[in-house]
Every structure is written in structure tokens, then in C-alpha cells.
Amino acid sequence: MSFEFVFKRFVQLVILIFVIAVTVFAVLRLTPGDPVAVMMGQEEGVTRADIELKRKALGLDQPLHVQFGRFISGLVTGDLGTSLATNRPVRELLNERFPATLELTIMAMLVSFALGVPIGVIAAVRQNSLADRAIMGVNFLGLSMPSFWQGIMLILLFSVTLGWLPSLGRIDYDLTPPRVTGLMTIDALLAGNLASFVDALKHLALPAITAGTAYSAVIARVVRSSMLEVLAQDYIRTAKSKGLRYGRIIYVHALRNAMIPMITVAGLEAGSLLSGSVVLETVFSWPGLGRLLVDGIYGRDYPLVQSTVILLCVMYVLISFFVDLFYSVIDPRIRW
């Protein structure tokens, strides 16, 4: 990996983040409706003077370029302002909610790989068999399903009908472990509390399965096609003629090489799970960043909305940045 490549890609990243910040700023300032008037208009006995005072306090009376300067310097220094609805620092709220989204994203990715990889391998090894076609058919169904609806149907089956799994929140209130990392499962283990660990896993199950199955379809497709490609290679034939066990050929020789495209898929998945978190967290009342954003929009909490959107977008572009770098390490032929 050349220095020039990393540098070029890094400059692109910085520009992209700047463009995101400008876009978010512009959208918030240029959409019709005065946020302060909208927000305070719902309260009783608010006068025009009160609104002006609040505008001044928020710096909204300043010219746009001054506001923009403050906005950017706030982002750089990490001073994200105060949430209008809760009167708490936005940074604190983001800190509080971020681990929930992270934990769900990790679990969803685990589920999608645990399902998608074996399914893709089976479909490739038994190409064009009934199993292959059935798997690809189910996959096709999965790609056409609105995932928020799938989540509700899982709630209907596993929570309402069978009563096996909880349908909302991260953990039972009484079982909440003391916060160390913010990841419920890890914190429960650190506290040595098996009951809360199990409860946290149970709460994770439905949202992680909903998000994970949606992506396992994509993963199975990619694994299948790259396995088919690898299985046609000469070294697989060599391995076969050496008399190696078939299982070993498939899982050691072929799968390892077929996994390279998985890095891109994993990166894409993490990115789309972050954006998808907005819908998914609403379905399961999951207290993460996505839910925070939706609540912020409902409550016209502009400082909160702008920081949450920027954080989600920046994480998204950072992931694709690292995927690109990682990919060029693995496969030196890739250059931009």
C-alpha cells in the first residue's frame, strides 16, 4: 500500500466529511420553519420576546456565515451544544446511546455471517441442485421483504404468540448491570451476573435476527458466487488429486480465498446497519442512535438532530474508508 494512495484516500475522506457537515447545516437552516418558534409555539404563554431571547441564546440571530463558523468549530472541538428537549449536552446523549447501536450492529453482523456463509457454501457446492435453488429462492424472498415488517412479524411469533423473547428495550430494568463499556452483554459479564447476561442476549435476539437475516441473504449470494469461482481454480483440482478430504478442501482451501470479497460486504453491511438502525431501533424501541435521531426529529431538537446525523454519516464514511485501505492491503492490484 503506497503512501500516496492512503493520502489521496484520506483527503477524499476529509472533504466528504466536510461536505456532509455543510449539507446538514444547510438543510437545517434552509428548510422552512423557524425551529425555535416551532418548538416553543407548543408551550402555553410564550411571547414573541421569549422566542427572540431563545434565538439569541442559541446564536440563531447571527448571520449565516458566523453560525456556520461556530458550527464547524463546535464539531472540531467536540462541543456539540445542548439538546433543546432535555437540556442536556448533546455529547452526553450520544455517548449514552452509541454503545446500544454498536452492540446491535455487532450482533446483527454475527448472525448474518453465521447464517450467510454456510448457506452460500452449501449452495455453491451443490450448485443447481434443489437445495441450491431453494436457498436462492428463500434469499430472493428475504431481499424483497421490508425488514421493519419482518421485525414486527418476529415479535408476533416469538413474543406475542410463543412468549419466548422480549420485544422491546435492551434489558430488564432490575437486571441492568453497572455501566462500564455500555455494551450490556459485556457489562453483565464484567459484573459476573449471568442472569443479566442472558437477559441482555434475549433482548438482542429479535432485533439482531431481523437485521442479520436481511443481510445474510446478501452474504449468501456473494459467498456462493465467489466460491463457484474459486472451486473452478487449478489449485482446487490439485488439492483434490492429492487426495485431500473434500470437507478440508471446501472449508480450508476454497473458503479462505472466497472470503476476500466478504470484507467489502462486511463493510457495506456495517454501513447499512448504521443507516438502517433508524428504522430497526424504532421497531424494537432500542435506545440507540437511530431512535435518538427519530425522537430528535419528532421533538424538533435541532442541535441533537444535526449532531446525530453527522455522527452516523461520519461513521458510515469511515467504515468505507477502512474497507478500501484493508482491501488494498490484501489485494495489491487494487489502486485508485
Please tell me whether residue 23 binds other proteins under the rule CB under 8 A: yes
Among the listed ranges 53-61, 104-112, 270-278, 322-330, the one in contact with other proteins (CB under 8 A) is 270-278
* Cβ closest to other proteins, residue 177 vs residue 267: 267
Cα separation, 25 vs 67, in Å, equals 9
Location of C-alpha cell 455517548 = 95
* Cβ closest to other proteins, residue 26 vs residue 66: 26
Q: Which of 62, 86, 193, 225 binds other proteins (CB under 8 A)?
A: 225
Q: How far is the CB of 158 from other proteins (least distance, A)?
A: 12
Please tell me whether residue 292 binds other proteins under the rule CB under 8 A: no
Q: How far is the CB of 271 from other proteins (least distance, A)?
A: 6
Q: How far is the CB of 118 from other proteins (least distance, A)?
A: 20
* Cβ closest to other proteins, residue 112 vs residue 307: 307
Question: Which cell numbers hold the place of 160?
Answer: 406475542
Give the start-end residues of each E strand in the chain: none
* Cβ closest to other proteins, residue 183 vs residue 309: 309
Q: Which of 37, 279, 318, 325 binds other proteins (CB under 8 A)?
A: 279
Say what the alpha-carbon torsion angle 246, 252, 253, 254 is, to the nearest 10 degrees: 80
Cα separation, 225 vs 138, in Å, equals 16
- Are 306 and 83 in contact by the 8 Å Cβ rule? The answer is no
Q: How far is the CB of 322 from other proteins (least distance, A)?
A: 14
Q: Which of 317, 322, 325, 326 binds other proteins (CB under 8 A)?
A: 317
Which residue in 45, 13, 283 sits closest to 5, CA to CA? Answer: 13
Say what the alpha-carbon torsion angle 70, 71, 74, 79 is, to the nearest 10 degrees: 110
Cα separation, 111 vs 95, in Å, equals 25
> DSSP secondary structure string, 161-215?
IS--S--SSSS-GGGPPPPSSS-HHHHHHHTT-HHHHHHHHHHHHHHHHHHHHHH
Cα separation, 223 vs 226, in Å, equals 5
Residues 24 to 43 in contact with other proteins, rule: CB under 8 A: 24, 27-28, 31-33
Q: How far is the CB of 200 from other proteins (least distance, A)?
A: 23
Please tell me whether residue 93 binds other proteins under the rule CB under 8 A: no
Q: How far is the CB of 301 from other proteins (least distance, A)?
A: 11
Cα separation, 291 vs 281, in Å, equals 5
Among the listed ranges 45-53, 110-118, 249-257, 274-282, the one in contact with other proteins (CB under 8 A) is 274-282
- The residues with which 82 forms a beta bridge, in sequence order, are 89
* Cβ closest to other proteins, residue 125 vs residue 279: 279
Cα separation, 253 vs 88, in Å, equals 54
Q: Which of 1, 20, 72, 106 binds other proteins (CB under 8 A)?
A: 20
Among the listed ranges 98-106, 107-115, 117-125, 145-153, the one in contact with other proteins (CB under 8 A) is 145-153
Question: Which cell numbers hold the place of 17?
Answer: 466529511
Please tell me whether residue 309 binds other proteins under the rule CB under 8 A: yes
Write the CA distances from 38 to 51, 74, 236, 276, 301, integer angstroms: 10, 24, 66, 28, 10
Q: Is 245 exposed, middle or buried (0-12, 13-18, 19+ CB in 10 A)?
A: exposed
The contact mask relative to other proteins for 155-194 (x = CB under 8 A, - = no) is: xx---x----------------------------------
Question: Which cell numbers hold the place of 333?
Answer: 492490484
What value, to the nearest 5°, has the Cα angle with vertex 245 and ends 243 and 251? 130
The residue ranges that bind other proteins (CB under 8 A) are 16, 19-20, 23-24, 27-28, 31-33, 140-141, 143-146, 148-149, 152-153, 155-156, 160, 221, 225, 271-272, 274-276, 278-279, 282-283, 293-294, 297-298, 305, 309, 312-313, 316-317, 320
